[in-house]
Amino acid sequence: MNEVIAAHNLAVALGGKTVLEDITFTAGSGELTGVIGPNGAGKTTLLRAILGLVPLQEGSLSVFGISGRRLKDIRPRIGYMPQRQSFERRFPLSSADVVATGLLSPQTIFRRIRGREDQVRKALRAVGMEGYYHRPFQGLSGGEQQRVLLARALSRRPKLLLLDEPNTGLDFPAQQSFVKLLRELKDKEGLAIILVSHDLASIAPAADKLLCINRTMHIHGHPAEVLRSPYLDEAYRCQFDFLTTGGDSERCWH
């Protein structure tokens, strides 16, 4: 396994406020790392740091052996799927159109992308959606839309895939299907995948490692170790009760 991401005592401040601190972990090729924690824990900020979109306050972070300001140079090697996107309904985009937007760059945004059709078909084929090439994106189910958006993130054949809450709004069977697809892609393509979620139940069975954060890192390790850790409840505080037991608000007194 090749090391793709290495973070050591990473800290990020936004607007003069520290939003992440003391984050240390590694992620390798062919490995799915789940990043869990409650809403507002800094999970999306961690992805933005990996993309080189926010500067570090302290510590170090390298991606493919690149660090510091040079992180922006490796973005084409990273597939990124942000939180649930909404494409304007007035523009009737097909599934192929949505995937093709992942191939845009400052050099290609105003002209036709040569070879785009072949790349788009390959990306859709990878997620089992090639037959939906001409289908209107807005007419797809939630699970089908997420697969198309995943194809968009895969369109440049990245070696690192960053996914931010991809299961939001999906029912449980669709979540399971989506996560199964990620594991298949990870094993087949040797991808390093960072999957962010606040939903512990859907991510734990699929992850090779879990990173639990709530501004700081509470625990990092094999899912079985994390699930047994006393630090897990500390990280989630009362939200953990709702996620795991459906507990009532009287339990959230701390």
- For 147-201, the pLDDT digits (tens) are 999 999 998 899 999 999 988 778 888 888 888 899 998 999 899 999 998 777 7
The pLDDT value recorded for residue 87 is 56
The pLDDT value recorded for residue 119 is 87
The pLDDT value recorded for residue 60 is 95
CATH number of the 3-85+157-251 domain: 3.40.50.300
**Considering all CA atoms of the chain, what is the largest pairwise distance in Å, rounded to the nearest integer?**
60
Asked if 59 and 10 touch (Cβ cutoff 8 Å), the reply is: yes
- Residues with pLDDT less than 70, the chain: 1, 84-91, 105-115, 237-254
Show the tokens assigned to 217. 């890192």
- pTM exceeds cut of 0.85: no
The pLDDT value recorded for residue 246 is 43
* Cα 39 from Cα 197, distance rounded (Å): 9
Q: Which tens digit of pLDDT belongs to each residue from 25-43?
A: 999 999 999 999 888 899 9
The pLDDT value recorded for residue 244 is 43
Mean pLDDT of all residues belonging to the chain? 83
At residue 36, what are phi and psi to the nearest 5 degrees? -120, 160
